Amino acid sequence: MPGPAPNKRAFLRPILDRIEDGWEIRKPPASDPGDADYVCIFIHPKTGREARTAIPTNWFRDSGMFPEIELAVRMAIRNAVAPAPPKS
């Protein structure tokens, strides 16, 4: 049995803080920090950039996976893009 859902936000926050100031966690939401969906979404409100990555929930249960989680977040931030303007 996998046990209680890990608090992904608590795990991700320090990683984001080390990478670059200003990033916010959009998903998992604050209302469900243990969201079972693999997709994590980060936004940078000042620049409008959005970053997405998929991290298996089981990785958050294994402290040995921390380097892999950090790498996934770093790569997502590095490849973050601003949303395209709406078409007229």
List, for residues 1-23, the tens digit of each pLDDT value: 467 889 999 999 999 999 999 99
d(CA 25, CA 69): 14
The tens digit of pLDDT for each residue in 40-63 reads 999 999 999 999 999 999 999 998
Q: What residues contact 60, with CB distance under 8 A and at least 6 apart?
A: 6, 8, 11, 69
Domain locations in the chain as residue ranges: 8-78
pTM attached to this predicted model: 0.88
